[in-house]
Amino acid sequence: MEVITRNFPHWFVPGYAAFANNEENLPVDQHMLLALMAPRAVYVASAADDSWADPKGQYLALVAAQPVFSLFGLKTSLPANMPPNNEQVIQLPLGFHNRDGIHNMNLFDWEQFMKFANEYFKNYNKK
């Protein structure tokens, strides 16, 4: 956190930098923030060469958020291991992909977003 808050302070609220060398005292972690979105649909996308974003950590946060979704009766079973690059995993209302490449958005990302949205709304309309 120290490097990213020093190099990109405009990405964060000022108080976040107070945890730069003190991560263990951060009062929240990413899985908690994802869990706050339950029971709504959550899709996480990343790029393999985007080391600032920590694709594996993003996926593990989504996996760790699953128990809160189950409190709403939404049983998901994301694989414990991150799927291979360029493969999408959908366990409604959760979804994820990690594609080859750098930090940007490209046609592959949009295609995955649309697949997820189509799957979600197709199933949502059945309720």
Distance CA 100, CA 48 (A): 5
pLDDT digits (tens, 9 = 90+) for 3-58: 999 999 999 999 999 999 999 999 999 999 999 999 999 999 999 999 889 999 99
pLDDT digits (tens, 9 = 90+) for 75-125: 999 999 999 999 999 999 999 999 999 999 999 999 999 999 999 999 876
pTM value > 0.85: yes
Are the beta carbons of 62 and 98 closer than 8 angstroms?
no
Q: Please, which residues bridge with residue 35 across strands?
A: none
Instruction: Break the chain into its structural domains and give their ranges.
Output: 29-124
Calculate the CA dihedral of residues 17, 3, 59, 55 and round it to 10 degrees: 150
